[in-house]
């Protein structure tokens, strides 16, 4: 089984790229299952029921979220309506939606768990205890975890905490792909950050002039607008999982900006 993890889809350019290219990428790389982070897919950040529906229609099997989960007024509705959309497990339990989901592919069942980190992030419950509890309840052939976190240390600690208990752990949130893809000692595939899908000539998907101004003029009020011109950068990571043993045999980064790549 080949699982493709796609990093934060940013704004209209990011989601249009996914709508128009994901099925081509799925066939080209023989992908069986796609998990993509959609926390920045709406123009305002967050997600809407329409965007979540369209991402699923165009080939995303499960959408994960992060600190921008509730960036739109309709995100809660999207989480309640769309069973393929999940939000951080370690958010307050009374929030809409759920933190993990199992999809049955016929030949195997795949669980996806969404966690959020706590280092340099807003308060959340302990992701380590939350995932430990979820794993005791989950019965699936393959388990994939999106750890949406700022600190590489927290993501690497989580991956090692889960090593041998899940097939793959990938990081999202910082929008920059890391070159540390690996198979951990007990067989879990890992990458600290898969990177974003959005405008390349930007600061993490936001118009670069605004972010330069933000750093040059601290204290000024800013409205971050997403970049909307130029090439889109697609970033992802493929986890190859042996169908019989359910062990990860390879972890491969993907990064390209042109339609024919």
| Interaction site with Fe ion (CB under 5 A) | 8, 39-40, 66-67, 173
Q: Which residues contact 164 (CB under 8 A, 6 or more apart)?
A: 184, 186, 187, 188
- In the complex, least distance from residue 81 CB atom to Fe ion, rounded to whole angstroms: 22
Token code pair at residue 38: 């959609």
- DSSP H stretches of helix in the chain: 11-28, 49-57, 75-81, 127-137, 152-161, 208-216
Smaller CB separation from Fe ion, 26 or 173: 173
Q: Are 91 and 116 in contact (CB under 8 A)?
A: yes
- In the complex, least distance from residue 12 CB atom to Fe ion, rounded to whole angstroms: 15
- In the complex, least distance from residue 189 CB atom to Fe ion, rounded to whole angstroms: 22
Tell which residue, 114, 181, 105, 106, has the closest CA to residue 146. Answer: 114
Smaller CB separation from Fe ion, 103 or 152: 152
Angle at alpha carbon of residue 150, lines to 183 and 252, rounded to 5°: 30
Is 223 in a helix, a strand, or coil? coil
Angle at alpha carbon of residue 61, lines to 111 and 245, rounded to 5°: 45
- In the complex, least distance from residue 122 CB atom to Fe ion, rounded to whole angstroms: 10
Q: Are 134 and 102 in contact (CB under 8 A)?
A: no
Smaller CB separation from Fe ion, 8 or 181: 8
Is residue 145 left, alpha or beta, with left meaning phi > 0 and alpha meaning psi from -120 to 50? beta
Smaller CB separation from Fe ion, 48 or 67: 67
Active site residues: 68
- In the complex, least distance from residue 119 CB atom to Fe ion, rounded to whole angstroms: 13
Smaller CB separation from Fe ion, 67 or 192: 67
Q: Are 84 and 114 in contact (CB under 8 A)?
A: no
């Amino acid at each position: 089984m080949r699982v493709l993890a796609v990093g934060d889809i940013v704004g209209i350019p990011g989601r249009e790229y996914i709508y128009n290219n994901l099925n081509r990428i799925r066939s080209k790389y023989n992908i069986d299952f796609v998990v993509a982070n959609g926390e920045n897919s709406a123009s305002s950040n967050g997600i809407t029921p329409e965007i979540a529906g369209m991402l699923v229609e165009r080939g995303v099997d499960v959408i994960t979220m992060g600190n921008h989960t509730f960036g739109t007024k309709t995100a809660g509705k999207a989480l309640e309506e769309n069973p393929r959309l999940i939000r951080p497990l370690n958010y307050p339990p009374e929030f809409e939606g759920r933190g993990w989901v199992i999809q049955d592919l016929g030949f195997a069942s795949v669980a996806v768990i969404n966690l959020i980190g706590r280092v340099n992030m807003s308060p959340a419950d302990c992701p380590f205890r939350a995932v430990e509890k979820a794993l005791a309840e989950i019965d699936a052939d393959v388990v994939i975890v999106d750890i949406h976190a700022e600190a590489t240390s927290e993501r690497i600690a989580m991956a090692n905490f889960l090593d041998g208990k899940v097939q793959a752990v990938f990081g999202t949130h910082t929008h920059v792909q890391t070159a540390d893809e690996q198979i951990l000692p007990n067989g879990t595939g890992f990458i600290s950050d898969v990177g974003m899908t959005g405008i390349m000539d930007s600061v993490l998907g936001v118009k670069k002039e605004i972010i330069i101004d933000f750093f040059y003029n601290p204290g000024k009020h800013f409205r971050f607008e997403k970049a909307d011109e130029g090439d889109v950068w697609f970033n992802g990571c493929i986890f190859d999982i042996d169908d019989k043993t359910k062990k990860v045999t390879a972890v491969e980064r993907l990064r390209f900006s042109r339609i024919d790549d």
